Amino acid sequence: MSGESESEHVLVEVLTASGCSRCQKAKDLAKKVIAELPDTAIQYREINVVEEIDYAVALGVLSTPAIAINGELVFPALPSASKLRQAILQRLNPH
């Protein structure tokens, strides 16, 4: 074992829909937060809930925007930048 702990891969998914006024805000927020983090192990994906409704329902999404991290619905509504950053960091370095 190398004493240095490797960071985990993190997938951030922003769930959106057409006609949703706050969805663009959520996408911009997620991209900005990810860009500010030095880690490259973060993947970003945008999901249209109508196109991927099975996945959205399985996550438990009830409205948009919503943000899932690593396949778990973490923010059912638009979070603050600091809360999103914290949630990503927690998963990058869980220990």
Per CB under 8 A, residues contacting another protein are 17-21, 49-51, 53, 56-57, 60-64
Mention every residue, 6+ apart, whose C-beta is less than 8 A from residue 86: none
Nearer to another protein, 19 or 38 (CB): 19
Identity of the amino acid at 72: E
Min CB(61)–another protein separation in Å? 6
* Alpha carbons 82 and 72: distance in angstroms, whole number: 19
Min CB(68)–another protein separation in Å? 14
Tokens representing 39 are 């880690």
Min CB(11)–another protein separation in Å? 21
